[in-house]
Structure 1
Amino acid sequence: MEKKNIYSVEEFNQIAEENATFLIFKNSTTCPISLAAFEEYEKFVEDQDTVPCYYLNVQDARPLSNHIAEKYEIKHESPQALLFKNGEVVWNASHWKITYSSLQENVK
């Protein structure tokens, strides 16, 4: 499945409106841990076609990253994976806990 980079609160709100379930990955473009987690995320996205997947680079989309943290009361971390279902975050992981198998186990 395709992964899409999002930048704005408006884009996020539209995604949330159109999808009961979706995955967001918060990425830091300067962190080696983030790079490793992003590679795991990319492998997961390639291998599944049921859950829409999006990502944001926190350096480029700080207002969006802050919006998600505040609205859903989840401490901002980077890297961070967030699974949304019916308007709520039902699973999240950060740093080394973001692996292909943790994504597969919790997202599918």
Structure 2
Amino acid sequence: MKKIESIEEFNKLAEGVDPFFFVKHSLTCPISQAAFTEFEQFANNADVPCYYLAVQEAKPLSNHIAESYHVKHESPQAIFFKNSDVAWHASHWKITKKSLATALEENK
């Protein structure tokens, strides 16, 4: 799992890696922390690359993703990118190891 902090880093990722998961994580929200823990546990055994940003540290990037991919910003938010587009996304309590695994399976 790798932290992405800039629009440039994300654009390189989006152009060169397919598919991948991305999570927007708030450093101050307990719901976000619970979702991030689920994402970490999923990422440790996933056969797909997983990335994240900390919203408080990368607001321009968070906004860029929302605007470029037409996915309303939420935090926490998990997004599965495939073929340079959003194939699936979820937020808050819907981010679980199971939901991430299901999203991957349904969008292979």
Instruction: Provide the residue aligned with 1:10 in structure 2.
Output: 8
Q: Flag structure 1 segments of 5+ consecutive residues without an equivalent.
A: none
Deviations 1:23-46 (A, max 9, x none): 100000000000000000000001
Instruction: Provide the residue aligned with 2:93 in structure 1.
Output: 96
What is the TM-score of this pair, normalised by structure 1? 0.95
Instruction: Provide the residue aligned with 1:27 in structure 2.
Output: 25
Q: More deviation in 16-25 or 36-45? A: 16-25
What is the TM-score of this pair, normalised by structure 2? 0.95
Shift of 1:20: 1.9
- Runs of 4 or more off by more than 4 Å in structure 1? none
Bigger helix fraction: 2
Instruction: Provide the residue aligned with 2:36 in structure 1.
Output: 38
Match of 2:70, SS?
coil
Deviations 1:64-105 (A, max 9, x none): 000000000110000000000011101000000000100111
Distance in 1 between the 2:101 and 2:31 partners?
19
Instruction: Provide the residue aligned with 1:47 in structure 2.
Output: 45
Distance in 1 between the 2:33 and 2:18 partners?
28
Q: Flag structure 2 segments of 5+ consecutive residues without an equivalent.
A: none
